[in-house]
Chains A and B, each alone.
Chain A
Amino acid sequence: MTVTDLTVVAAGERLRSGSTTSTELVEAVLDRASRTEAQLHAFLNIDRDGALESAAQADAELAEGKDRGPLHGIPIALKDNMCTRGLETTASSQILAGYVPPYDATVVTKMRDGGAVLIGKTNLDEFAMGSSTENSAYGPSFNPWDIGRIPGGSSGGSAAAVAAGSAFTALGSDTGGSIRQPASLTGIVGMKPTYGTVSRYGLIAFASSLDQIGPLSKSVEDAAATLETIWGHDPLDSTSFSGEYPDPRAALSKGVEGLKIGVVKELAGEGYEPDVESAVAEMVEQLHSAGAEIVEVSLPTFDIAMSAYYLIAPAEASANLARFDGIRYGHRADGSTTEELMARTRAEGFGPEVVRRVLLGTYALSAGYYDAFYGQAQKVRAAVQEDLERAYQSVDVLVSPTSPTVAFKAGDRVDEPLSMYLADICTIPMNLAGDPAISVPIGLDGQGLPIGFHVMAPALGEEVLFGVAAEVERLAGFDARPEIPVVAE
């Protein structure tokens, strides 16, 4: 096992025992990236100097016995829709080319305070709109397990970086599955926390009521360590949760004995690959053997959740993206009037998927259509929440595949937005509900591509969520690593 395959927990042990240094870890991931980036394009921007400087500082602090927590001295990556002071942040959009934020997102501040070492900013679908990272204005990312395939999205860059060993852990944002689906497709752990527990301040908004930042990590415990570093009440985010936070580590070794696990009936069948279904079924069986009671649960609203999502998310996006007008920052086109300047800037700066969603959202909010579209979608959203509340009266957690398929081939779905949208069919309901969920790798399909297992819990149910996820991880014993055709040194 090479250094870059270490988990955060294992690397942290070595840092504290003095058998390695943060600088060594950073050099190892930078070296790894230098030999894999040409194939993967996980990063938009690598901050080599900044990383080495932070590593030196972490080493000095750790040597003095100053311990900032589990990510102290650990090389991490950030999805490029989180603002970093002094470091270009584009959300993979042409409209923000060259934009350097004057402030840090709250998660970035927390990462810095936690001593984490930022390696760079990772690629994403433009403004996090997509499921393959092919909607990036700066070119797609590829899957470490098969560089002819996409890594999922929209946090595909973060997923590819962690899966490839170019970062020990990373942050993504999940609006409809954008952390969990790429984690599933790249064989790592991806977790969407309860809405409101991780501050959105400094996250370039896609759909404010759905967006949530979370970890993409090599293990369930690493995800917990990353989550602990970034979450907590933030007065700068009005939707931030101010009550008592659960302990995601409390149940890590508890197992599933006595727990009631619901298998979601609607998240199976047509459109689901047989290898995915059988791997998930096998895991459910193993959980049963491990002492969990298994029941099938029907959540009829899951069938219409996606339609509601594709009205609510674009509606919010249409307003959230209105600020990109060329007036104050970012790309600016010429125009003889202000209106023309704005219109041209937006036409030139936004890619086709962003344009599609802004138009869709604008339409859904328009007078005369509001009730039929946006209003109706909000009712469905409420119904999904009620459906889940009812389900959680009889089960502790729900499970399903994370994605109906394994990683698909690059270019396969680019011209078929609807088939691309289906990639998030299992994950979207949790965003509508605001509930936490996690994807854990459980094996490979016949082609050697990773399959993810989706565990869902009620709001603030991170303790039981991580407990079940850790058991899934133990039962799966998934330890395969992708073989990337690397460029020799």
Chain B
Amino acid sequence: MTAYEPVIGIEVHVELATESKMFCGCAVGFGAEPNTNICPTCLGLPGALPVTNRQAIEWIMAIGMALNCEVSERSVFHRKNYFYADLPKNYQVSQYDIPVCHDGFLDVTVDGETTRVGIERAHMEEDTGKSTHVGEGGRIHSAESTLLDFNRSGVPLVEIVSKPDIRSAAESRAYAQELRALVAELGVSDARLEEGSIRFDANVSIRPEGIEAFGTKVEIKNMNSFRSLERAVDYEIKRQVEVVSDGGEVVQETRHWDEEGDVTHSMRTKEGSSDYRYFTEPDLVPMVMGDVWVEEVRSTLPELPAQRLERYVEAGLDSDSASVLSAAPAKLRGVFDEAAVAGADPRAAANWLTGEVTAWLRRTETEAPDLPLAGADLAELVGIVADGVVSASAAKDVLDGMLSGEGGARQVAEARDLVQISDTKALEAAVDEVLAANPDAIETYQGGEQKVVGFLVGQVMRATQGKADPKLVNQLLREKLSG
């Protein structure tokens, strides 16, 4: 049987959370009363004209830079002509041959393996309005109607088109997640899938392994979670393999992901390809980017996930904890950076944050930004554990005390009586007492059964109510037993 290789490209639409719309002064926002954020321009009234939102251009440049793209010298808008009720001008102002950003890449990792996904382009356009179809179900002659809300009309929309470099459903999901994380990091979009502020379409085709030529591609739409994206791509790959294996041919079409049925359905197939009759938007003049502006935007970029990961690994974290920490809320990452500056061992600090601290947040239902922990305090906690002042298990209680507002690490350890006995002389007495009470154990040890030391350590710990430093106890016992 022939083995097939899936070839996948993903188109992502990101609504920018700019103060105003792409070409007018109306507010951008989710959830406003229908048709309240509208004006002559975004309603397509006769005579109204567009004015380009500079912030949107800066933000798409930032996205492009984060995706390692080249920024074009000029931004040129085109009209994309098609009739649709929620497209007020019946053309969309978009970009055609000169996108703002082109030729970049994004690295995605699945099961420890990293793939570089090429970015074809990232271009700027305006969103459409929203149609809500209303029908009185059940009645044959019921009058169906459609409600139109133009609040979304003209919201800045960035379309990011990947190269067909993705080879699996899991990679599709990882690419989408990575891209969403990046856009969220840049702070340019709400990037909420459920509100549609970030949307994914996938182009899926298959080809026999070892063959260069692409198969017929199918566009799949309507995936509104990462999970459904992965499942839809997975389904589509299997469907195509089945079609071809049965001697059929894949038809070029758009298919709709049906979340309930767990399948893709063919949408009405368009005869031939649409002719959008693109031409340069005469109401706008080309915007010249210029080196100065580009560098200005570049200087405002925050640290991006990939850069951060690299920095964590350089700081000594293993790649797993580096990626867990990198994906952690900004507040936690901030505490990490502060703790490291305060001298904490980075590995220990990362473990605390991604382990106990995260668990505490979840348990107490506290939002990350409200975490009452300073980096210096975490560094102190890490320090007293390393110095043996408190045991690893007691340290968890110390943290709990710290987060409950009882004070710094040392203060809590003392107040809660969790400081280990690390004084050799104080411990020697307890060791001697235990040895005196267990002559059998000494015999056993001397008979070659070294395991008995564990039992004796336990006895000393019990005698000291757990405050003895077990390492030191162990050491003392062995000295005495051997001596």
- Which residues of A are at the interface with B, using a C-beta cutoff of 8 A? 81-83, 89, 91, 96, 99, 101-103, 105, 200-205, 207-209, 235-239, 315-316, 318-319, 322-325, 327-329, 338-339, 342, 362, 365-367, 370, 374
Contact = CB atoms under 8 A, between A and B. Distances in A.
B476 interface: no
Interface in B202-254: none
A194 to B, nearest CB: 15
A46 to B, nearest CB: 21
15 contacts: A83-B47, A99-B46, A101-B47, A205-B283, A208-B283, A318-B81, A319-B81, A322-B90, A323-B46, A323-B90, A325-B90, A328-B43, A328-B45, A328-B148, A365-B81
A105 B47 contact: yes
B50 A327 contact: no
A314 to B, nearest CB: 12
A96 B284 CA distance: 25
B334 interface: no
B29 interface: no
B109 interface: no
Interface string B250-285: 000000000000000000000000010111001111
B290 interface: no
Interface in B65-90: 79, 81, 83, 85, 88-90
Given A328-B43, A338-B85, A365-B81, A239 B275 contact: no
A323 B89 contact: yes
Contacts of B83: 322, 325, 339, 342
B49 interface: yes
B146 interface: yes
B52 interface: yes
B277 A103 contact: no
Given A202-B47, A239-B285, A365-B279, 19 more contacts: A89-B46, A91-B46, A96-B46, A103-B40, A201-B48, A202-B48, A204-B46, A235-B51, A238-B50, A316-B282, A318-B81, A319-B89, A319-B90, A328-B44, A328-B45, A329-B46, A366-B277, A367-B275, A374-B279
A305 to B, nearest CB: 18
B284 A238 contact: yes
B277 A362 contact: yes
3 closest A-B pairs by CB: A322-B90, A208-B282, A365-B277
A201 B23 CA distance: 13
B352 interface: no
B445 interface: no
Nearest to B23: A238
Interface residues of B, number: 29
Contacts of B46: 83, 89, 91, 96, 99, 101, 204-205, 323-324, 329
Contacts of B47: 81-83, 101, 105, 200-205
A225 to B, nearest CB: 25
B360 interface: no
B4 interface: no
Contacts of B79: 319
Contacts of A325: 83, 85, 90
Contact of A329 (B45, B51, B85, B275): B45
Nearest to A330: B46
Nearest to A208: B282
Contacts of B50: 238
A238 B52 contact: yes
A338 B44 CA distance: 18
Nearest to B82: A322
B283 A239 contact: yes
A202 B48 CA distance: 5
A367 B284 CA distance: 23
Contacts of B279: 315-316, 319, 365, 370, 374
A238 B77 CA distance: 12
Contacts of A237: 49, 51
Contacts of A102: 40, 45
A236 B91 contact: no
Contacts of B45: 83, 101-103, 328-329
Interface in B270-325: 275, 277-279, 282-285
Nearest to B91: A319
Contacts of B284: 238-239
Nearest to A341: B85
B79 to A, nearest CB: 5
Contacts of A91: 46
A202 B45 CA distance: 9
Given A96-B46, A204-B47, A327 B283 contact: no
A6 B90 CA distance: 46
A200 B283 CA distance: 9
Nearest to A342: B83
Contact of B283 (A89, A101, A238): A238
A323 B49 contact: no
A140 B88 CA distance: 31
A366 B272 CA distance: 14
B148 A238 contact: no
Contacts of B278: 365
Interface in B316-364: none
Contacts of A105: 47
Contact of A323 (B44, B275, B282): B44
Contacts of A201: 47-49
Nearest to A211: B282
A96 B47 CA distance: 12
A328 B275 contact: no
Contacts of B90: 319, 322-323, 325
A96 to B, nearest CB: 7
B275 A366 contact: yes
B107 to A, nearest CB: 37
A238 B48 CA distance: 11
B296 to A, nearest CB: 21
B49 to A, nearest CB: 5
A236 B89 CA distance: 17
Contacts of B277: 318-319, 362, 365-367, 370
Contacts of A370: 277, 279
Contacts of A96: 46
Contacts of A319: 79, 81, 89-91, 277, 279
Contacts of A362: 277
B40 A238 contact: no
A236 B50 CA distance: 7
A54 to B, nearest CB: 22
A297 to B, nearest CB: 29
B285 A322 contact: no
Nearest to A315: B279
Interface string B97-134: 00000000000000000000000000000000000000
Nearest to A202: B47
Max chain B Cβ within 10 angstroms of own Cβ: one of A238, A328, A329, A339: A238
B290 to A, nearest CB: 17
A361 B377 CA distance: 71
A318 to B, nearest CB: 8
